[in-house]
Structure formats: C-alpha cells, structure tokens
Structure 1
Amino acid sequence: MATPFWYNAALFLIKPLYRSRIKKRADNDAQYQQECLERFGPFQPAKNLNAIWFHVVSVGETNAAQPLIEHYLKAGHAVLVTNTTKTGQARAKSLFLKVPYEPLFQAVYLPADQASLVRRFIQKYQPKMLVLVETELWPNLIDQAQQLNVPRLLINARLSEKSAKGYGKVSSLSRPMLQGLNQVLVQDQAALSRFIDLGADPAHSQVVGSIKFDIHAPAHFVGKAAQLKQDWALAGRKIITMVSTHAPEEQKLLTALKPYLQQHPELLCIVVPRHPERFDEVFAMAEKLELSTQRRSLGQSIQRDTQIYLADSMGELWLWLALSQACFVGGSLNEPGGGHNILEPIALYVPTVLGKNYFNFQTIVDEFVAVNGVEIVQDAEQAAQVLFELLENPQKAQALNAAAQQIMQKNTGSLQKHIQVIDQYL
C-alpha cells in the first residue's frame, strides 16, 4: 500500500531544511558532499550485492546489533549497514571495517525516505533482506522494500508508551507500515502489546528479549586499556567515566564533582559526550570550572595532575569504560531525557549510576533496579556522591556488580532466538 500523499508532500517541503542540517553538522565541504551523495544519490557503488541489510540509527542501535552483525560476517555473509547519524556510522566502521570483516562489510547513510530514492537504492544494492533495529521505521523504506520483494524484519524492537501514543496519532501512516513487516521481534511483553495495537500482525510478532544482553567487550579494547594504564601510569588513579552525556549534564556533574576532584588528586573523570558537535563546548565548560583538562582529539595523554579527560574521539567508548571503576550513563538527568544503554559498563563489571529519566530503557533498567544492580540518582549532587562512594567502598561496588551480573546471565540467549528467525529468510 502506497504511503499517504501528505507524508510525501511534507518530505518534499522539508528536503532543503534536511540539506542545511547536513551542512551544519559536517566538519568540512567534502564530508557534506559525501553525505549528500549517500542521502540523495547517485549512491556509492555496492561493494557486495545480496547483502544482509541492517538499518541502525545511531551508536546505541549499532552497539545493540553488533553481536548479530558479527555473527553473519563470521558466517561469510556480506553485510550492508545504513545509519542516520554521523556517530552511528563512525561506530559501525570502527567495529567492522577491519580485518577480517572488511571485504564483506559496507556502511553508508540511509537515503532520505522518498519513494524514488529508496527504490533506486534498493535496486542498486539488491539486498537479501532488510533488518530494522529497535524502532527505526520509515514508511517509504518499508513500502518500497515490500514492492521489490525484500523481506522486512523489525528486530530487538522496543516501543515506549509515549512513542506508541505518537504513532497512534498518525495511524494512516503507522498501520500500513507495521503491516508491511514480515516479522516483529520485540524486547518485552509491553512493547509487543503496543505494536499489535498499532497494527502489527500478531501471528508474526513475538517476544524474544533484548540482544543487548548478549553484549561483550571487544578484546582489543580491553587489551588497549591495559596498555594505556601502563603507559599513562594510571595504576594509582581512581577513575569515573561519564558516558553519553547531554547538555546540561556535564555542567552540573562537573560542578558537583569539582570538590571531590580538588580534595582527591588521585581522582580522574573521563567525559564522553553523546554528540561530537558538543566536544568544544564541554571542553570550554571544564576550563571555565578551572579543572585541569586534556583532550583525546589532540593526542594528549592523562597526566599526573589531569582531573578531566575529554574523550572527544569516535568509536572508543569500550576503551574508556575498560579503564574505569565507576560509570555514570547520561541522557538520564537532562529533561526530558530518556537515558542510554547501561549494559556496556555492566558487561565490563563497572558499577553503574544513572539519572531518574531513563524511560527509553525502562524495562531493562527496572530489572536491574529490582535487584539493586544499578544506582538511580535524582540530581547531579547525588550522582557525584554515589560515584565517589563506589570508588571508596569496594564492598558496595562489589555488591552492585554481583547483582547486575545475575541479571546479565539470566537474560542472555536473545541473540540465538534472533538468529533462528533471520535464518529463515536466508
């Protein structure tokens, strides 16, 4: 069923705005031209035809799909990954554009969701199937894939109550879109009910859990962290990592941490902001607070007097987590927030703290909260206090870790369930 006229008209009208947004976030003209080429055509040549096509939005979804993509690359299947954000694409390339996966792997931006563009893209790449990760649904993308007989799967799907209400308001768009999917594999029962209410086929929708639980830290990052510990003499340091932070979280958290950093010279805070366009802003913030700050992008190392290390690089999150003894996961103290994935630090046995606004990961986080496997804080002051306590009190950190690992072990296995369904379409 073709997408509604009003949707296509709206896309046509906002296209110039979309181009200007791409220009605004590009670091240089070459990057702008490259992204426009991938968004609006003529598209990059296909490295491999008949690839398994994974569409992931950004860093979080790329990380979630990592074990699945890895599985198919190891099995010798060609994989095409499309992203909608610069950070997502950088992450995908850092994970898979290397030996031994490089010949089988390609990452490009998803074209703008205009029927003619999407159709040309599919005809050029001729994918074996389209695997949409989490809630990344585009009406023309699904419609054109259906018309061109490309199987369409929504995997690791999640849908908050708030998002479901939003989709419900445009049922002329969302109902046919969900009915155009061959399979809907969701993380939990609540999401399953919401998808079915919105139009997904109950016979082809099922709860298989979250593949995020099947996560593991890449060995080369763990090895690199051990090397940095040695090279930068970090053995005596107590290290907190603040990851995926948004404005105004850094300002509030660094202000709250400042007294601890001043009183304890062994304390170090590594800051990994969510969006690269905010790197300079966060650096200026740390400087304004008169905290001794070094930057990864300038190739600077952590010195004896470094209080803040700004990890303004792409695709190195695992490295910073592997160095830390406590972690704050951002996007959870800002308003409205929503939170980010807590499973990466937990996979590395790093005691984890987050703010109260974590509705994007409600089901996952609540499971850890129920067994005291993570710490939820109300504000930046409490966050600083709890993070410091975890460094000073090994028993508390150990108890938090032990509870978190129980939940991790209980939930593994979703990856295998996803593979069983996907394999039916190979």
Structure 2
Amino acid sequence: MNRHLYTLLLHLALPLIALRLALRARKAPAYARRIKERFSFALPPLKPDGIWLHAVSVGESIAAAPLIRALQARYPELPITVTCMTPTGSERIQALFGDGVQHCYLPYDLPWAAARFLNRARPRLAVVMETELWPNHIHQCARRGIPVALANARLSERSARGYGRFKRLTTPMLAELALIAVQTQAEAERFLALGARRDCVEVTGSIKFDLQIDAGLAQRAAELRRAWQAEQRPVWIAASTHAGEDEIVLAAHRQILASRPDALLILVPRHPERFDSVHQLCLHQGLTTRRRSTGEAVASGDQVLLGDSMGELLFLYALADVAFVGGSLVANGGHNLLEPAALGKPVLSGPHLFNFLEIAAQLREAGALGEVQGADDLAGEVAALWREPARSERMRQAGLNVLKANQGALERLLAGLGRLLGP
C-alpha cells in the first residue's frame, strides 16, 4: 500500500472515525469537544517559526516534559507548539506548561488537514515523540523543507513486523525523516531494515532515564502518611492498570489482607474513563474504598485508595512502599518502570513488557525488578518485600543505580535537534 491508497482509505474511514469518537465521548465527554481542531478548523492562534512537538497522549506528554523544558531553556526566543490526540494528554500538557507553550490537537493524518495545520504553525522543526508515524504529516513537512525528528524512538519486533507489511508506505515515509533518535541498537536495526536512511539513525538512549524527581516529593508524601496516621501501615500501589488487570490486583490485595488486615492498596487505573467502573468493582468486591479525588483523608479502616486524580502518579508512587506497574499482567506491553525506580521503590510487573524490553532487561539483570504471573505471585511478592526490608533495600538501590548509569540521553537528543535547527 502506498501513501495515496492509504489516504483514500483514511477518507473512506471518516464515518468510522466519527463513530469511534462518539462512542469514546459516551465514556469520556471531553472527546466530544474541540472536534474541529482534529480537522484543522478553529485552531488557536499559533506563533510561527518555532518548534512543533507531538506527544500522542499522557505517557508521551510526561516523557516529553524534560525535553520541552530543555528546549525552552536553550531556545527561549522560539515558540513551542505541543500537540496530542487525547483529552487526557491535552489536560496534562496544559497542567504541565500552561501558557508556556502553544497547544492544540494534532489534526487527523489527511493531506489537506496536515497542510492547514502546518500553514498555521509554520514550524522550523518538527519533533515526534516515540513512534507516532503519520505519513501525510511527515510528507507535508518534507514538502515545506521542515526537518522531522523522531525522538526517544522505540520500535518493538511486533510493531516492526506490522510496518514491514506496508513497506511501500513505510519506506518512503522513513526516508523523509531527518533524524531518528532511537533508544537502543536493536531498535536502530529495525528502523534500518524498514528502509530508514543510515545517516539519520542515532542511538541516543531513552530520555526516560533522565527523569528528574522533585526534591520535596518524598517529604510531602511522608507528611501525608503521617496525617493519615499510616506511617506504620503497609502500603503498596498498583499503577496504570488496564481492564482485566484490576481484578487480578484486587484478588492479590484480598490475599494480603488475610495476613495483613491493615494493608492499604493505592489503585490507579490507566484511563480516567475507567475510574467510576473500577470504583464500582472495588465496592462490589466488598473493599472499603476511598477516592483520592475527594481530597478526604484515608481512614484506618480504608482498604483501597482509588487514584482517580490527574497528574499525581509520581506523588502516589511516593506514598507507597512497593510498586506494581500495570499494563503487564495483560498483553498491553507495560508502562514506565523507571518512575517508581527513580523514587526508590522496589518495582514489580507482570510478564508482558514488550514496549519496555531493554529497560525491563536492565532492571531485571540489576535485581531491581520482580516479575509476577498472577494474583498469587503478586500477593506473595508484595508481602515478602514488606517482610524482608534488606531485600527491599537492595531492589531500591539497584533501581537507582540503573537510572544513574543510563542518564545523558536528553543531552544527546538535544545535540541532534540542535543540528537540525542550525545556527
């Protein structure tokens, strides 16, 4: 399939895209707002001649935050436009940067929509986080002489096979990229096999290792636990969980409560539209549950704290003694293992980590990551880490060492982007 056939099929799919938006809006009403932006209409005023950075959703927005701040510091005269595709990503960008960046949704990958957006933004450089490859946006940039960089790029074997089925579309698209800054050498080889130009592929590492933790975060968490009178309570967190995973986590927590009745689980679903249904699940299973969004203090009889607030994940990690990272007991590919590691928490995950194979391998080899297969394993590992403080400390220190050994990717990426921006 080439780009013209792809574009035709995308136009034909517009009714299905509209239906999908409507269905998502039923669970998350924000999807029904700002629809015109998705077609390059009613865009906000955008100052031209700056840097355009695309981060598809919440995870990419958080990963992009250090890069955006570094670009603001290094190029204070350049306006930065940050786009995303989801309401939660939009909320996160606005919470992180406010009026410090220009922001709108990225229009759908239709040639005329991409052209209208670029005619409005007129960036000097386009930066796409991770692996959001949109052929028409990239081609419209190439037509205008706008260099496009793929930053913190990752490409799993499964994704590479998917792109490989459409090489007539993928190869010309990759050839139009000015820089592919990949996380690992294995990913570099996958991009090259798909047709990327060797001179534009660089192994810079993952900027997620350059995570900077607010120095006061741990202190604020300790103060809140003190206010809850929970300094001696065993507290664990299951973060970024997906449908089908919450049931496993709650089953593990019930096992833990049998021997540690004062244990508290902080449960943080990945998607805000699931907050209500997960709350109902907790109540249905007979667990005394408090919602973080109410701002109420956790009481001694509470068994679950539902993390249904936005922008607090690092703080919620800081409140816990042990961290389980979700998206890994179901075949979703996992989520960021480095955030709890950077906070000095022993980290657990399920076996499905294909989105973070290299990071997971390093943490596992260092002894900083424990993998579990189901509820029994999870309950056993959490309880063991509470019983064995020396083991918990070894995992904590190993995670911090892995982060320290891999830092520097952000500077390498900035150097590559600087070459594209020129003097």
What CA deviation, in whole Å up to 9, does each residue of 1:163-196 have, x standing for no partner? 1010000011110110010011111111001101
Amino acid at match of 1:106: Q
Letter in 1 for 2:387: E
Cα deviation for residue 221 of structure 1 reads 4.7
Which shows bigger deviation, 119-128 or 294-303?
Answer: 294-303
- CA deviation profile, 1:89-118 (whole Å, cap 9, x unmatched): 222222222xxxx3x312321111000001
Aligned residues: 419
TM-score (norm 1): 0.93
CA distance in 1, matches of 2:258, 2:88: 33
What is aligned with 1:25? 24
- The corresponding residue for 2:231 is 235
Residues 328 and 353 in structure 1, CA contact (< 8 A), matched pair in contact too: yes
Bigger Cα displacement from structure 2, 179-188 vs 212-221: 212-221
Q: For 2:344, which of 344, 349, 359 is the aligned residue?
A: 349
The answer on whether the counterparts of 2:31 and 2:86 sit within 8 Å (CA) in structure 1 is: no
Give the 5 Å matches for 1:9-408. Answer: 9-26=8-25, 31-75=30-74, 76=76, 77-97=78-98, 102=99, 104-219=100-215, 221-222=217-218, 224-334=220-330, 336-408=331-403
Give, in whole Å, the separation in 2 of the partners of 1:39 and 1:328.
35
Given residue 386 of structure 2, which amino acid in structure 1 is its aligned partner?
Answer: L
SS of the counterpart of 2:33? Answer: helix
Q: In 2, distance between residues paired with 1:151 and 1:349?
A: 39
Instruction: Identify if the C-alpha distance between structure 1 residues 19 and 222 changes in structure 2 by more than 3 Å, giving closer, same or farther.
Output: farther
Q: Give CA deviations for 1:348-397 in whole Å, capped at 9, x if unaligned.
A: 11110000110110011011111211101122210121112212221111
Give the Cα–Cα distance (whole angstroms) in 2 for the partners of residues 3 and 222 of structure 1: 52
**How far, CA to CA, are the matches of 1:204 and 1:373 in structure 2?**
34
Q: 1:193 to 1:307 in 2, by over 3 A?
A: same
Quote the offset at 1:224 in angstroms.
Answer: 4.3
Name the aligned partner's letter for residue 208 of structure 1: T
In structure 2, the residue matched to 1:6 is: 5
How far 1:30 sits from its partner (Å)? Answer: 7.7
Structure 2 runs not aligned, ≥5 long: none
Percentage of pairs with the same residue: 38
1:424 maps to 419
Preserved contact between residue 3 and residue 173 of structure 1 (Cα < 8 Å): yes
For 1:317-363, what per-residue CA distance to the aligned partner results, in whole angstroms no more than 9, with x for missing partners?
111011111100001111x2311110000111111000011011001
One-letter identity of the residue aligned with 1:152: V
Amino acid across the alignment from 1:96 = F
Q: Is the 8 A contact 2:40 2:114 kept in 1?
A: no
**Kindly tell me: are residues 339 and 424 of structure 1, through their superposed partners in 2, closer, same or farther at Cα, counting changes over 3 Å?**
same
Deviations 1:42-76 (A, max 9, x none): 13223432231111122222222221111122342
Q: Which amino acid aligns with 2:191?
A: F
Cα pair 1:3 1:139 within 8 Å, conserved: no
CA displacement at 1:12 relative to structure 2: 0.9
Judging changes above 3 Å, is the alpha-carbon distance between structure 1 residues 30 and 401 closer, same or farther for their aligned structure 2 residues?
Answer: closer
Aligned residue for 2:310, secondary structure, equals coil
Q: 2:250 & 2:360 partners in 1: Cα distance?
A: 24
> Secondary structure of the equivalent of 2:34?
helix
Name the CA shift for 1:358/1:29 in 2 (closer, same or farther; >3 Å). closer
State the alpha-carbon separation in 2 of the partners of residues 184 and 41 from structure 1: 27
SS at match of 1:156: strand
Taking the aligned partners of 2:355 and 2:187, their CA distance within structure 1 comes to 12
1:293·1:308 contact (CA, 8 Å) conserved in 2?
yes
Q: Which amino acid aligns with 1:267?
A: A
Q: Which amino acid aligns with 1:345?
A: P
When residues 95 and 220 of structure 1 are mapped into structure 2, their CA distance, relative to the original with a 3 A threshold, is farther
Q: Which moved more, 1:241-250 or 1:379-388?
A: 379-388
Find the aligned partners of 2:210 and 2:79 in 1 and give their Cα distance. 22
Residue 304 to residue 111, structure 1, CA distance change in 2 (3 Å):
same
Alpha-carbon contact 1:3-1:143 (below 8 Å) kept: no
**Residue ranges of structure 1 left out of the alignment (5+ in a row):** none
Give the Å deviation of 1:227.
Answer: 4.2
CA contact (8 A) 1:22 1:35 kept: no
| Conservation of the 8 A alpha-carbon contact between 2:44 and 2:104 | no
Q: How far is the alpha carbon of 1:226 from its aligned partner?
A: 4.0
* Contact 1:218-1:318 at 8 Å conserved across structures: no
Deviation at 1:297, TM superposition (A): 2.9
